[in-house]
């Protein structure tokens, strides 16, 4: 339940920028090398999920068994391709309205954080030139337990010095929404309502949220 927002915690992929298409291209290339097809529908199952778990799901789909060292090699290969694809990401790839919304809430003294499963978060934030917008970044290199475990969100709240119930998470994935709920935080789903049933509210994009906020300010004076 949303009780107030002293801190806003943003997921990265699917909320700030759409990197899912590049994950898809890299996983599809790996699947092809392994001899099976990996579809866009399959890729939906990987959103918000850690790299290790994503590989497990991919291998289940292909019916392939692999030992630890083979899995490590596959995961490294996929990431090498993925990093090649995302190197060209630019500020123009930011999802609509998200930076305006972050600037807007910062003016209102709301603290801001990124909490992402991605170990490539720093590279992506630098390509997008938005790292200075966040008071803290908790990424896949800093957490032991991937979403739906609430660790990333709880660490972000602790780093900001804000009580969990005063944090609002912005998430595009089911696992991320479950993590926010388990952390005792409010949760705004970003995307299609049908996929985000457990969020407190769902927005299609941040332009919509900015308009709602500006109407509220016009009606209530703050
Ligand atoms: P990497 P998020 C997640 O980002 C992606 O949604 C997910 O598809 C990916 O497997 C995961 O990051 C790990 O990414 O391979 O770059 O470490 O949605 O948590 O921002
Ligand atoms: Mg995401």
Query: Can you give the CATH number for the domain in which 139 is found?
Result: 3.40.50.1000
State whether 59 and 111 are in the same domain: no
What was the pLDDT predicted at 2?
80
State whether 195 and 98 are in the same domain: yes
pLDDT tens for each residue of 213-222 = 777 667 776 5
Distance 221 CA to ligand 2 centre (A): 33
What is the C-alpha separation between 154 and 37, in angstroms, rounded? 37
What is the C-alpha separation between 114 and 125, in angstroms, rounded? 10
The pTM score is 0.93
User: From atom 13 of ligand 1, which residue's Cα is the shortest distance away?
Assistant: 118
Is residue 162 packed enough to be buried (19+ CB in 10 Å), middle (13-18) or exposed (0-12)?
Answer: buried
59 lines ligand 1 (CB under 6 A): no
171 lines ligand 1 (CB under 6 A): no
Last residue in a domain, options 70, 86, 102:
86
11 is catalytic: yes
In a domain, 1, yes or no: no
Place of tokens 């590049």: 22
Structure tokens at 207: 């332009």
In a domain, 102, yes or no: yes
User: From atom 15 of ligand 1, which residue's Cα is the shortest distance away?
Assistant: 51
What is the C-alpha separation between 122 and 26, in angstroms, rounded? 19
Domain count, the chain: 2
State whether 141 and 208 are in the same domain: yes
What is the C-alpha separation between 153 and 164, in angstroms, rounded? 8
Q: Is 95 helix (H, G, I), strand (E, B) or coil?
A: coil
What was the pLDDT predicted at 210?
81
In a domain, 24, yes or no: yes
Last residue in a domain, options 29, 59, 86:
86
State whether 29 and 50 are in the same domain: yes
Q: Is 183 helix (H, G, I), strand (E, B) or coil?
A: coil
Structure tokens at 80: 């090498």
119 lines ligand 1 (CB under 6 A): yes
State whether 100 and 82 are in the same domain: no
State which residues have CB under 5 angstroms from ligand 2, the bound ion. Answer: 11, 13-14, 48, 172-173
What was the pLDDT predicted at 209?
84
Q: Is 114 helix (H, G, I), strand (E, B) or coil?
A: strand
State whether 193 and 209 are in the same domain: yes
51 lines ligand 1 (CB under 6 A): yes
What is the C-alpha separation between 210 and 188, in angstroms, rounded? 13
- Alpha helices of the chain — where are they, by DSSP H? 20-34, 40-44, 51-62, 68-86, 98-107, 121-128, 151-160, 174-182, 206-220
What was the pLDDT predicted at 132?
98
Range of the domain at 78: 20-86
In the predicted model, residues of the chain with pLDDT beneath 50 are none
What was the pLDDT predicted at 130?
98
The CATH number of whichever domain residue 50 belongs to comes to 1.10.150.240
In a domain, 180, yes or no: yes
pLDDT tens for each residue of 39-90 = 999 998 898 899 999 999 999 999 999 999 999 999 999 999 999 999 999 9
Identify the nearest ligand to the CA of 146 by its number: 1
User: From atom 5 of ligand 1, which residue's Cα is the shortest distance away?
Assistant: 48
What is the C-alpha separation between 104 and 133, in angstroms, rounded? 11
Distance 48 CA to ligand 1 centre (A): 5
Active-site residue, from 11, 42, 135, 172: 11
């Amino acid at each position: 339940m949303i009780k107030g927002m002293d801190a806003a915690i943003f997921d990265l992929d699917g909320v700030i920028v759409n990197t899912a298409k590049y994950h898809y291209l890299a996983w599809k290339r790996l699947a092809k090398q392994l001899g099976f097809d990996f579809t866009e529908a399959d890729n939906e199952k990987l959103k918000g999920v850690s790299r290790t778990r994503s590989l497990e799901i991919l291998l289940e789909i292909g019916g392939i068994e692999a030992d630890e060292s083979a899995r490590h090699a596959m995961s490294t290969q996929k990431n090498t391709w993925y990093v090649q694809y995302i190197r060209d990401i630019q500020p123009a790839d930011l999802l609509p309205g998200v930076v305006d919304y972050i600037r807007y809430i910062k003016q209102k003294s709301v603290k801001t954080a990124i909490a992402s499963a991605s170990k490539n978060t720093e590279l992506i934030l630098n390509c997008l030139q938005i790292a200075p917008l966040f008071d803290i970044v908790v990424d896949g290199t800093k957490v032991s337990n991937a979403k739906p475990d609430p660790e990333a969100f709880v660490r972000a709240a602790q780093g900001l010095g804000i009580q969990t119930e005063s944090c609002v998470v912005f998430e595009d994935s089911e696992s991320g929404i479950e993590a926010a709920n388990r952390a005792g935080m409010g949760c705004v789903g970003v995307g299609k309502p049908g996929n985000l049933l457990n969020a407190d509210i769902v927005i299609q994009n941040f332009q919509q949220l900015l308009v709602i906020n500006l109407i509220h300010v016009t009606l209530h004076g703050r």
